[in-house]
Amino acid sequence: MRHSLPTIPQFYVTAPQPCPYLPGRMERKLFTALQGDQAEAMNDTLSKQGFRRSQNVLYRPACAECCACLSARIRVADFTPSRSQRRMLRRNAHLERHVTSSWATEDQFDLFRRYLDARHADGGMADMDVFEFAAMVEETPVRTRILEYRTPGGRVQGDLRAVCLTDVLDDGLSLVYSFFDPAHARDSLGSYMILDHVALARKLGLPYVYLGYWGPGSPKMDYKAGFAALEVYHRDRWHGFESRDAYARTTHPLSIKPIAEQVAGLTMPESLSAPVAPRRTAREI
């Protein structure tokens, strides 16, 4: 008789490199491969513990001397837009959301290149070509969708305003990566996509919208603190966001858990070898 043993995921740590968010600091990531029949269960379970997906990898910060970056999510049921966010919704109310499978197009890549050239010309993605872009979009072992935001009048070249690569988790929507037309930066399209994801999650009965990482002192991530009903993953559990000052971090090495302790404290899916339970489906996404 043949027995199937649980497949225990292997975790690895990247080499330190300059942090893209906080000058003068070094970043390091804890990561594991995302593959096989349990990929969705792993994505669901580790997302609840501060991990993010990039293609077929799950990762979270594991820096040796800093723990400033915190996973952030919005509690959909408790969210109320601010006055400025209501204006933002009205300003972009003419845009139409089109939900597609995770398949890259030339239209998306053209918008992506214009976005990078205008906003992140010196960033880590600055040299991405069309093949690398396609890999970012299409290499996903989980339930991923592309949300396109277009002007009315049909899907023609040039009417694409914004795009978001989104994972559908068992408890929410996770914004993996988004970009928009830099010529319309005044429309706050990045924040608008977050607001639209909150509305979509509410319609689908999903309790959270995952935003990626937020950290005090980082101008690139600070806009996330402006959303109501925000939670951050801190000291192994989710906390209601207090204030920017409340999350100032010590950089003393002894304040950071060793990698082995971090991995030992992770919760895994109940049975990595058991058949995957049927997932709730939402026709609109």
- For residue range 254-280, list pLDDT tens digits in order: 678 899 999 999 999 985 644 444 444
Task: Please indicate, yes or no, if residue 145 is contained in any of the structural domains.
Answer: yes
Query: Residue 188 pLDDT > 70, yes or no?
Result: yes
Place 2 in a pLDDT band, splitting at 50, 70 and 90.
Answer: very low
CATH code of the domain covering residue 174: 3.40.630.30
Lowest mean pLDDT among 60-69, 77-86, 149-158, 222-231: 149-158
Task: Please indicate, yes or no, if residue 177 is contained in any of the structural domains.
Answer: yes
> If DSSP states are collapsed to H, E and C, what string results for the chain?
CCCCCCCCCCEEECCCEECCCCCCCEECEEEEECCCCCHHHHHHHHHCCCCEEECCEEEEECCCCCCCCEEEEEEHHHCCCCHHHHHHHHHCCCCEEEEEECCCCHHHHHHHHHHHHHHCCCCCCCCCCHHHHHHHHHCCCCCEEEEEEECCCCCCCCCEEEEEEEEECCCEEEEEEEEECHHHHHHCHHHHHHHHHHHHHHHHCCCEEEEEEECCCCCCCHHHHHCCCEEEEECCEEEECCCCHHHCCCCCHHHCCCHHHHHHCCCCCCCCCCCCCCCCCCCCC
Task: Please indicate, yes or no, if residue 84 is contained in any of the structural domains.
Answer: yes
- State the total domains in the chain: 1
Tell me the residue range of the domain where 173 lies.
80-188
Residue whose tokens read 């593959």: 35
Note the pLDDT of residue 252. Answer: 64
> Cβ(72)–Cβ(232) under 8 Å?
yes
Task: Please indicate, yes or no, if residue 261 is contained in any of the structural domains.
Answer: no
Place 248 in a pLDDT band, splitting at 50, 70 and 90.
Answer: confident
CA distances, 69 to each of 28, 60, 100, 201, 283 (Å): 11, 9, 31, 25, 34
Task: Please indicate, yes or no, if residue 222 is contained in any of the structural domains.
Answer: no
Note the pLDDT of residue 155. Answer: 60
Note the pLDDT of residue 216. Answer: 87
Lowest mean pLDDT among 81-85, 153-157, 209-213: 153-157
> Cβ(169)–Cβ(280) under 8 Å?
no
Share of the chain above pLDDT 70, in %: 87
How high does pLDDT run on average in the chain? Answer: 89
Note the pLDDT of residue 277. Answer: 42
Task: Quote the pTM value.
Answer: 0.90
Task: Please indicate, yes or no, if residue 205 is contained in any of the structural domains.
Answer: no
- For residue range 9-21, list pLDDT tens digits in order: 899 999 999 998 8
Lowest mean pLDDT among 77-91, 176-190, 198-212, 249-263: 249-263
